[in-house]
Amino acid sequence: MNFLHTGLVVRDLELMRRFYTDLVGLKVLKEIDSIAPESGDHTGFPNARRKLVFLGFEDSETQGGHQLELVKYFEPESPEAGADRHERGSMHVCFQVENLQQRYLTLSAKGIHFLTEPKFNTGEDGQSVGVVYFQDPEGNWLEFVEYQTKTS
């Protein structure tokens, strides 16, 4: 068993696509226009009409890497959500990054609001872990993590 993708239901597909490609650095891997049969499909919505956009890194599709799936429901339209980051039902997507501080500064300069500045903690083994949280344009929580090993 392996992870395949994380799906986010979105309201503004183009805004979210631009955010994840232009700012986060993912690539569009594939797009699917999906129309469920009258009897319904795995979504449980008969005649559901939606667009799926799969995002990832260059080799995500060919190498079995985890992907992010943006799902825009046209029929039936999705209701508003609202779970805060500490409530049951909330979720976040975590990206392992290099140079967390620089990513933080670059995205901050582009108007991205972070919950805090990157926080680094060093364990007894000398490995340092940096973490920062922020939200995408529709309020989904994202996390960047950087692992730094002790240099001699």
pLDDT digits (tens, 9 = 90+) for 98-128: 999 999 999 999 999 999 999 999 888 888 9
- Residue showing tokens 């699917």: 32
Q: What domain range includes position 99? A: 92-148
User: Does the CA dihedral 107-111-131-30 come out positive or negative?
Assistant: negative
Q: Which two tokens stand for residue 14?
A: 């183009």
Which of 44, 75, 106 is a domain's end point?
75
Which of 14, 41, 75 is a domain's end point?
75
Query: What is the average pLDDT across 32-36?
Result: 87
Phi, psi angle pair for 107, to nearest 5° = -70, -35
pLDDT digits (tens, 9 = 90+) for 63-92: 668 999 999 999 878 777 666 666 666 789
Average pLDDT, the chain: 87
Q: The pTM is what?
A: 0.82
Residue 84 placed within a domain:
no
Residue 27: give its domain's CATH number: 3.10.180.10
